[in-house]
Amino acid sequence: MKTHARVVVIGGGVVGCSVLYHLTKLGWSDVMLIERSELTSGSTWHAAGGFHTLNGDTNMAALQGYTIRLYKELEAITGMSCGLHHVGGITLADTPERFDMLKAERAKHRYMGLDTEILSPEEVTKFTDGLVNVQGVLGALYDPLDGHLDPSGTTHAYAKAARMGGAEIVLHNRVLETRPTAEGWEVVTEKGTVTCEHLVNAGGLWAREIAAMAGVYLPLLPMAHQYLVTDDIPEIMDILKSGREFPHVMDPGGESYLRQEGRGLCIGFYEKPCEPWAVDGTPWGFGHELLDEQFDKIEDSVNFAYRRFPVLERSGVKRVIHGPFTFAPDGNPLIGPVPGLRNYWSACAVMAGFSQGGGMGLALAQWMIHGEVERDPRGFDVARFGNWTSPGYTVPKVIENYQMRFSVSYPNEERPAARPFRTTPMYPVFDQMNAVWGAQYGLEVVNYHALPGEPRYEDPSFKRSNAWEATRQEVLAVRNGVGINEVQNFGKYRVTGAGARAWLDRIMAGTIPKPGRLSLTPMLAHSGKIFGDFTVSCLAEDEFQLTASYGAQGWHSRWFERNADPDVRVENISDARTGFQIAGPKARELLARVTRADVSAEAFKFMDVKRMTVGMANCIVQRVSYTADLGFEIYCDHMSVRQLWETLWAAGQDLGLRPFGMRAMMSLRLDKWFGSWGREFSPDYTPAETGLDRFIRWNKPTEWIGKEAALAEKASGPKRRLATFVVDADDADVVAWEPIWIDGTVQGFCTSGGYSHFTGKSVAYGFVPESHFRDGLEVEIEILGQRRKATAHLTPLFDADGARMRG
């Protein structure tokens, strides 16, 4: 075993081997993998081996498509068989809500290039040779890419391809310790110590233990999962004799998935009475064992499966496979650079290893070698969970995710496990005001306030929900008077030091304002893609406040660390500094009542920032508002926020002051065509495509990050542009990813949308080809399987000239 490598990958499951292969594929040959036992030990060897493209996250779906297409490439490179069976897959819908979800997924696939289709019950019967009881089935989604493979053969194919690229694999060599060094890491093993520049934790069932060696906690948990393999089934043998194979069938209503296994069937379950495994740590001696059979926990699921697949009831069970595999709290992988650790990479919690392993290996290799990922990685980025996570949070969230693995995923759904967890001092106040809560980055955030007599929850729906009237009233309270909303759910950073301005000029593409002013600016990656959209407030020549998305704290903080300057201090004060925004035509009057400072339009101009005392609290007040109305953001120390609330609340009663939540906020922003982080602005897009280029200061002398790429796009022009549409919708509005039809073909897609309660219009944002970008463009947007007429409106619906917001 060599004693130095550029990269050491810990873990020889399918994910570790995929990472190793992709590093060699992209050009790094000085890489090695260390495995405590044999390749596939842990979860890989007993996996059911199915693969599919269906995923609610479009980037995850695309990477799953890459994974599936990669297998034939591996076979060609290595001469080994992956045991591929591209039999196609059918996902059944037995409720209108589930059928809506499948239609929404089919719509996404139109512009992703995935050749899926909606099937009728009769077509399901034909595809499955009558072996599926379609009673109660409304329809299904068919994907020809779905199938299954040989888990062991596929993992060894990855490993051989990696060896062919120069990688070394060391087996039967447990890692005992990891130590950070000035250049990277020391990996202490049973066979000696290896020094490396980069360390990848692909430890699978032991990922928590490997992470703990580096002093970090990774939020993941093994779950015991059970599937059955039947004896030979005559009906399956008849299908084989005809030269065909039985397709995969997912029956979410029955919490089961079914596929052919030899001359019989394999059926697995995501049962409600599930079992977390090794909650306090995975034993080092575990590896090729299975867990004891537990028929009792799948009894209800088996009985349902017998009704859906009657042939099972006549079949004997050949063997039972009951083994653990790992989940993150939301079911997605934990991939990428671990915040706070230099060159320490996570490749964990890839529970669908044979659907996702190839794509995750590619993404991590791109991240390590190029510094960023080709596709927006935020859905699987390890940084989406902050240092606030704990086993006490992870365990109930993983159990919930497992139980709801096959449940309908609604765009407005708020799942209840491990909540409330993180709250602000305002939580009890808003809770007494009938707040209906959402969660962002672990924080409880008000979605809306239920009206008297209404339930304190929002019905999950693909259509307009029971939050409609309450949200409408909150919107009108802002537009016609004054509303108040907590600004806790903004990410906030304090940047100080003599070099603060120069550092910000390099990090941000836009103008860094003078003292007493603020600016809006994109932050770009080296590729020129959007890494963040920020408000930069200059409090003094050596002190700035940055505000951005609360949920992007891990993402942004890691970028600041990567581009750190020893003369600049960057503090994440997202939870230490809080406060409120007040917005609406009476917002200035309210502020004037509670401060001795001059807040007149002449003294306090749009985009000004001032320090002032509000009530008893020393505050930072900014004249800006995401509601597109006259507004102010008032920040204070979190210990003062209750007093600040009482001051504002008492002073605003005769002005009709009303609290509003995120549902109203997202409606209000539609009126002004304000984009949103993670929707219109993300690492998949560029400033020129989205219109953020208007905030770039092209002529500043600093060589800001992303400048070269942004200038190149400016010279050539973007190929697509973000347009805004008014939609002839019925009872459902655009959410995201709906295809845009132009002249009878899909030529674009939506990024977000909703209902503008103030203007009474359904609104959508979406990308269209540059050649079609114009006011009045008529398109169709597919919503839940129906193509709705829509017209591009490039002028905002409200305050088009900015007189209200700037006045």
Token readout for 783 is 């919503």
Instruction: Tell me the H-state helices in 145-229.
Output: 151-164, 207-213
CA distance 131 to 86: 19
Q: Is the bond into 420 cis (omega within 30 degrees of 0)?
A: yes
Please state the rounded mean pLDDT for residues 599-608: 98
Q: Residue 89 above 80 pLDDT? A: yes
Alpha-carbon span 634 to 577, nearest angstrom: 10
Task: Please state, for a pLDDT cut of 70, what percent of the chain lies above it.
Answer: 100
Q: What per-residue confidence (pLDDT) applies to 50?
A: 85
pLDDT at 60: 87
Quick check: 749 pLDDT over 80? yes
**What is the model's pLDDT at position 711?**
97
Angle (CA) 505-511-514 rounded to 5° is 95
pLDDT computed for residue 53 by the predictor: 80
Domain span(s) for CATH 2.40.30.110 in the chain? 719-804
Which residues of the chain are in CATH 3.30.70.1400 domains? 490-574
490-574 classified as CATH 3.30.70.1400: yes
Can you point out the beta strands (E) in 149-252? 168-170, 175-180, 185-189, 192-201, 221-230, 248-251
Q: Residues 170-201: pLDDT tens digits?
A: 999 999 999 999 999 999 999 999 999 999 99
pLDDT of 437 over the 80 cut: yes
Region 314-324 average pLDDT: 91
pLDDT classification of 205: cutoffs 50, 70, 90: very high
Confidence of residue 61 (pLDDT cuts 50, 70, 90): confident
- Residue range 276-295: average pLDDT? 90
Domain 719-804 belongs to what architecture? Beta Barrel (2.40)
635, 492 Cβ separation under 8 angstroms: yes
Sequence letter at residue 625: S
Tokens matching residue 26 = 């992209």
Q: pTM score, two decimals? A: 0.95
pLDDT band of residue 244 (cuts 50, 70, 90) is very high
What is each CA distance from 377 to 4, 362, 384, in whole angstroms? Answer: 30, 11, 10
Whole-number Å distance between alpha carbons of 591 and 337 = 44
Write down the mean pLDDT value for the chain: 95
Instruction: Give residue-wise pLDDT tens across range 334-381.
Output: 999 999 999 999 999 999 889 999 999 999 999 999 999 999 999 999
Q: What is the pairing mode between strands 50-51 and 147-148? A: antiparallel
Please tell me the predicted confidence (pLDDT) of residue 415. 96
pLDDT bin (cut points 50, 70, 90) of residue 673 is very high
Q: How far is 756 from 475, CA to CA, in rounded Å?
A: 9
Q: Write down the H helix ranges in 460-586.
A: 468-480, 500-507, 553-562
CA distance 527 to 684: 11
Q: How many CB atoms lie within 10 A of CB 83?
A: 17
Whether the predicted pLDDT of 54 surpasses 80: no
Residue 332, pLDDT above cutoff 90: yes
User: If pLDDT is split at 50, 70 and 90, which confidence band does 51 have?
Assistant: confident
Share of the chain above pLDDT 90, in %: 90
pLDDT at 459: 95
Q: What is the pLDDT of residue 277?
A: 95
The pLDDT of residue 216 = 96
What average pLDDT does the segment 532-552 reach? 97
Lowest mean pLDDT among 251-260, 473-482, 516-525, 618-627: 251-260
150-171 core/surface letters (b: 16 or more CB in 10 A; e: else): bbbbbbbbbbbbbbebebbbbe
Q: How many CA atoms lie within 13 A of 235 on its CB side?
A: 15
Residue ranges of the chain assigned to CATH 3.30.9.10 = 4-327
Q: Which pLDDT belongs to residue 288?
A: 79
Tell me the CATH architecture of domain 4-327. Answer: 2-Layer Sandwich (3.30)
CA nearest neighbour of 601 among 623, 616, 575: 623
Q: Which residue has the higher pLDDT, 725 or 320?
A: 725
Q: Is the pLDDT of residue 149 over 80?
A: yes
Report yes or no: 365 and 19 within 8 Å, Cβ to Cβ.
yes
Under DSSP, is residue 789 helix (H, G, I), strand (E, B) or coil?
A: strand
Tokens read off for 276: 């977390």
Structure confidence at residue 77 (pLDDT): 96
Residue range 473-483: average pLDDT?
98
Q: What is the DSSP letter of 126?
A: H
Rounded to whole angstroms, how far apart are CA atoms 276 and 297?
12
Q: Is the pLDDT of residue 46 over 80?
A: no
Task: Concatenate the DSSP letters of all residues of 405-422 into one string.
Answer: TTS---TT----TT-S-B
Phi, psi of 195 (to 5 degrees): -100, 145
pLDDT at 65 over 90: no
Residue partners of 225: CB distance under 8 A and separation at least 6: 268, 270, 322, 323, 324, 325
Residue 172 to residues 5, 44, 281, 544: CA-CA distances in angstroms? Answer: 18, 17, 20, 53
From CA 372, how far away is CA 380, in angstroms rounded?
Answer: 14
Of the listed ranges 352-356, 596-600, 656-660, 709-713, the least confidently predicted one is 352-356
